[in-house]
Structure 1
Amino acid sequence: MSILNYLLSSIFGFSLLWVPALHAAIVIIFGFRLISVRRPVGVAIAWFLIVVLFPLVGIALYILIGERPVGRKLTRKIIRMEREYSLISETMRQRYLQDRDQLPLEGRALSLLAESNNGSPVIAGNKIELHTNSLEILQHFIDEINQAKHTLHLEFYIWALGGDADRVCEALITAAKRGVACKILLDSLGSKIWFKSIWPARFKSVGIEITEALPIQIGRFQFRRADLRLHRKIFVVDNAIVWTGSMNMVDPRTFKQDSGVGEWVDAMVRIEGPVASQFELTFAFDWSVDNPKINHFNTLAPAPMPLEGKVLAQEFSSGPVYRDDVLYQVLLSAIMDAREELTITTPYFGPDDGLMQALMAAAGRGVIVTLIVPKLNDSKLVAWSSRSLYADLMQAGVRIAEFHGGLLHTKSLLIDRRIAIFGSVNFDQRSLRLNFEISLIVYNEAFCATLEKLIESYLALSDRVDPTAWGKRPRWRVLLENAAHLTSPLL
């Protein structure tokens, strides 16, 4: 350093003696910041190491994705609206209080946890159908739109161009022309290509309202984390019928065909009955939060809806501002409550140490734990990181199957064939900590049996990971996977 400093001083007339002092100051200030926000130890150490090694790059990355702010202005709006929302949600909890008595014993604790912190109550009297063919689901969307009489509310992470997704757009335009009030809420990043297409202008020309959720604004990264996303999938028809699940508004024949993973494999549920009003209320809240023209949540509590079936179910929403960490607690509780079987399907598997220990403990106490993930993934980093966990899981007795029939995108948790958690939630840190997610918790053995048949069809197209063969994989793969896993706390 002294020779370099002498040369630079002789040639350019300046010294580098200030660089170590500046580096030390950056590290110390950053260290105080990490202490002040009390991050998880693994996350804090990872960020601290990055800033020590690459101070400028590390600080820039931390500003972009290091914490979970959505911006001061939006946070104040969410907090204000949540107070207004709580008055309505409390009315619904009181309205359906007696339905809690119908919960099976093994589901009561989970339901109360999901309802906590201003959540939705469990509601009886629903009809829930599982749909597993994406093209048929898109056609059902079109049919629902064509039959709608009053309102159509759609909230998705991705709306892709091409194929039958465009037919859905045309159906919405036709519905708007005959007087149906249509509202479209899409994530800014997930649907960025759609927002740049002809469809927004065409929608607005016929009176369809569009709101862009969590827009990415250059110059505001220091106030708002850029990768907090609206990951929900909600389609509400006339406040009476709801579709939700893992599927974005995409045609699998045209969506991401260049990624080399095959067609995306999804599932959705169609809901009729009183629980549908909870999804309508969540949509109304999200719409009010993300629409800059709305300052208060003035929506009335949905009117009581007729009973359509016998299924006991509960809407379960989560996000990084309100109901923070409830999703993590629910998944952890579900794993710990399992007594016989636990089956997880997820395209992205990236649990933290707490969830890993819960999965291994479940297998250790005799629960048949099965994890189904895609063999090919559109995110190489996620795939490598996930595989770094296989050895520990299999050693504890967890069965792992890799689906080779496309990119398995269905997100589900089946507990003892009696309780199912089904929706948009991936088993990773992004869904648990960063995204606004939506799920349906079903306390019904008939629905769980239907979901189990779907899972069996996935297993028929999967390769069981053999622990012995896995232990013999090349050393370079082990190092690559372990290196990829080091990035997981930062996501």
Structure 2
Amino acid sequence: MNLLNILLGSFFGFSLIWAPILHIIIVILFGFRLISVRRPVGVAIAWFLIVILFPIVGICLYVLIGERPVGRKLTRKIIRMDKEYAAITELMRKRYLVDKDQLPIEGRALSLLAEAKNGSPAIAGNKIELFTNSLEILQDFIDEINRAKKTLHLEFYIWALGGDADRVGEAMIAASQRGVICKVLLDSLGSKDWFKSSWPARFKSAGIQVTEALPIEIGRFQFRRADLRLHRKIFVIDNTIVWTGSMNLVDPRTFKQDSGVGEWVDAMVKIEGPVASQFELTFAFDWSVDNPKISHFKDVAPAPSPTEGSVLAQEFSSGPVYRDDILYQVLLSAIMDAREELTITTPYFGPDDGLMQALMAAAGRGVQVTLIVPKLNDSTLVAWSSRSLYADLMDAGVHIAEFHGGLLHTKSLLIDKRIAIFGSVNFDQRSLRLNFEISLIIYNEMFCATLQKLLDSYLAQSDRVNPVTWSRRVRWRVLLENAAHLTSPLL
């Protein structure tokens, strides 16, 4: 017993002496790491405080989600393929050089910025339709698949099991069996249930090629951030028609019905015309990057589709490693360019200080800025964090509306009713910094008028946040929201 007491005393004595020293060493080394990667000040301070308070947990979290690496091997592959991709997109920019003359004056700077860093140019001659009923969209997908003659390329964050989403899968199998080349690229995390189901085996048996994007590999978290995701929604048919927007391959009647927020409310656009070839090229690039059997990007620029309409539009893709931070710059520029009206819809609102200042400055110079977000959100932490920003926004003159007709999942920016940015991008740090995203920039007043009608329908189902009433909410809610906001740089 005396020996046990001596051993325990020695252990605790050792811990009391060395634990603080070890803590200090961990904090100093971590501080050097933060300095070496030059993180944004708010993010760096947040991580530093976490490691000071909870050193072991903080270091583990930082390894998992602290930086933006996609892994050394994948980074080298993306950089190599991006150089090969650049030669193809340069030809595309030369081919459509004259189309820039059709850009409205207020859209020229935005278009040039979106085209920077090896992006796609604005292209004329497109037909664009807006669709807002999810079940009808799924049926349209099935109809498109049944009409396809050559290729079907699907790229989505989520393919959920059940309902009409399964009917899309059955249509794909039938299309492949009649000779259509089918490729399906899905995010590993977003579509994890689909990958665990019988669908991958059924697809492969039918001749459908399936690739899992950014697979989560246990033991490789120190080399690849676990939560970098492929968040794009792209469906290309025969290189002539493309669908994109906010909707995943899910049936809203069955998707996340236990989350208590109602059905997901989405919107998609169908594009016919030459801009479809830009989406086809982006799909080909993503497919090549995520398919381990492909080492080089050798696809040529797809032949442009025939002119279908009069709409000028521009595909806009973004993501970590390649085109890094271009999305942030485009959104910031769009807000700063607004002169009359700016309406934003997003399910997840988490801007940084720069975007907050841009929104408040727009309202301050007389722009009618309206933010439409869901009243109920499936991410409680994001909801609390976003509400901590309401007071500052409303003090600056920003109008905030909370949609109560379900979880509003549509992601859009409407600028002066002349330019629209529409796609998969949320107005949060995850979309801006971490996800691979896709958008369509539309320079057409007729389409913008159609989008405005949709936004008006959202506003009709929303509760306007009253600045006076909001300022009187109970103190504990203010503290809770402000505490949640402290985590926003880390999300």
Same fold by TM (over 0.5)? yes
Change (3 A) 1:278 1:18: same
Displacement of 1:9: 2.2
The alignment-based identity, stated in percent, is 85
Counterpart-to-counterpart distance in 2, 1:137 and 1:454? 16
Q: Distance in 2 between matches of 1:201 and 1:334?
A: 44
2:146 maps to which residue? 146
Kept in 1, the 8 Å contact 2:239–2:305? The answer is no
2:158 maps to amino acid: I
Unaligned runs of 5+ in 1: none
* 1:294 paired residue number: 294
Is contact 1:155–1:234 with CA below 8 Å preserved after alignment?
Answer: yes
CA distance in 1, matches of 2:459, 2:315: 28
**Aligned-pair Cα RMSD in Å:** 1.1
Q: Which amino acid aligns with 1:422?
A: F
Mapped to 1, the partners of 2:477 and 2:186 lie a distance apart of 38
* 1:219 and 2:225 correspond: no
User: Which amino acid is the alignment partner of residue 92 of structure 2?
Assistant: M
Q: Does 2:228 match 1:241?
A: no
Letter of the 1:73 partner, please give it: K
Q: Any idea what the Cα deviations from partners look like across 1:272-319, whole Å, max 9, x if unmatched?
A: 000000000000000000000000001011113211000000000000
In the TM superposition, what is the alpha-carbon distance from 1:49 to its structure 2 partner? 0.4
- CA–CA distance in structure 2, aligned partners of residues 203 and 414 of structure 1: 39
Cα deviations by residue, 1:318-360 (Å, 9 ceiling, x for unpaired): 0011000000000000000000000000000000000000000
Task: Give the structure 1 partner of residue 195 of structure 2.
Answer: 195
TM-score scaled to structure 2, two decimals? Answer: 0.98
The offset of 1:77, in angstroms, is 0.2
Q: Compute the TM-score of the two structures, normalised by the length of structure 1.
A: 0.98
Structure 2 residue aligned with 1:309: 309
In structure 2, the partner of 1:266 is 266
1:8 positional shift? 4.1
Letter of the 1:85 counterpart = Y
Q: Deviations over 1:47-87 (max 9, x none)?
A: 00000010000000000000000000000000000000001
In the alignment, structure 1 residue 23 sits paired with structure 2 residue 23: yes
- 8 Å Cα contact 1:9-1:15 kept in structure 2: no
Deviations 1:86-141 (Å, cap 9, x if unpaired)? 01000000000000010000000000000000000000000000000000000000
What is the number of residues matched between the two proteins?
487
Question: Quick one: distance in 1 between partners of 2:117 and 2:267?
Answer: 29
Q: Which runs of 5 or more residues in structure 2 are unaligned?
A: none
1:246 to 1:15, Cα distance in 2 relative to 1, 3 A: closer
**Alpha-carbon distance in structure 2 between the residues aligned to 1:95 and 1:154:** 26
Residue 14 of structure 1 deviates from its aligned partner by 4.5
SS of 1:124's equivalent in the other structure is strand
1:411-462 deviation digits (Å, cap 9, x = unpaired): 0000000000000000000000000000000000000000000000000000
Q: Distance in 2 between matches of 1:300 and 1:373?
A: 41
1:15 CA displacement: 4.3
Tell me the distance in 1 between the aligned counterparts of 2:197 and 2:83.
37
Kept after mapping to 1: 8 A contact 2:288/2:295: yes
Question: Where does residue 172 of structure 2 map in the other structure?
Answer: 172
C-alpha distance after superposition, 1:14-51 (max 9, x if no partner): 54311111111100000000000000000000000000
SS in 2 for 1:160: coil
Task: Return the offset for 1:361.
Answer: 0.3
Q: How does 1:359-374 map to 2 (within 5 A)?
A: 359-374=359-374
**Aligned ranges 1:70-89 → 2 under 5 Å:** 70-89=70-89
Kept in 2: contact 1:120–1:314 (CA 8 A): yes
Residue range with higher mean Cα deviation, 298-307 or 356-365? 298-307
Counterpart AA for 2:423: G
Distance 1:306 1:172 in 2: 25
User: Residues 8 and 15 of structure 1 are in contact (CA less than 8 Å); yes or no, is this contact kept in structure 2?
Assistant: no
Matches of 1:430 and 1:38 in 2, distance apart?
19
Partner SS state of residue 16, structure 1? helix
2:70 is paired with a residue whose SS is coil
* Residue type at the aligned position of 1:17: I
Letter of the 2:452 partner, please give it. Answer: E
Q: CA deviation at 1:10?
A: 5.1
Does 1:341 find its partner at 2:344?
no
What pairs up with 1:90-489 in 2 under 5 angstroms?
Answer: 90-489=90-489
Give me the whole-angstrom Cα distance separating, in 1, the residues matched to 2:439 and 2:455: 18
